[in-house]
Amino acid sequence: MMPKIHATTVLGIIHNGQVALGADGQATMGDTIAKGNVKKVRKLSDGKIIAGFAGSTSDAFSLIEKFEEKLNMYRTNLRRAAIELAKDWRTDRYLRKLEAMLIVMDKDEGLIVSGTGDVLSPEDQIISIGSGSNYAKAAAVALKRHAPHLTAEEMVREALTVAADICIYTNHNFEILTLDPS
């Protein structure tokens, strides 16, 4: 049996009307780096929504496709689409086996969607998933408090750098997407 591909750091920040979501590019199989430039963040709904994933890559792609279907069904209503995906994920026999988590964001909020039926919205507008998420979140909290002049994109980059310096499952090959504030 092949070891599962896993581990990453995905971080989203809403700050001063700006929205940024970034991830590293590392995928591992067991204790080996399988690939260093995986694209784990995507723009959806004509660039109005950004999404990122942690976990099994193929599972995450399936979930993003399902999430896009929900976005189309609910006219890009982020919260409603996330809740409906979480309901399906928890109750559908096929989806229940998928091993991934999603962060989805629009200009107003960010949500974590999990296979246990959770749809979580952070109080501090900092959202993270993956093996290095606690390191990235801690760095982002400090940056928001002590360097509020930085943009959301700069905060995401700096916080991911901290995570990559600490977490062995996170590399420095970042992709960061932003949303237009309009």
- Here the tokens at position 43 are 């723009």
With H, G, I as helix, E, B as strand and everything else as coil, classify residue 72.
helix
The Cα–Cα gap between 173 and 76 comes to 30
DSSP label of 47:
G
Residue 34 backbone dihedrals phi, psi, to 5 degrees = -90, -35
Q: Assess whether 32 carries a catalytic annotation.
A: no
Which of the following is catalytic: 8, 9, 28, 57?
8
DSSP label of 160:
H
182 and 109 Cβ atoms separated by less than 8 Å: no
Residues identified as active-site? 8
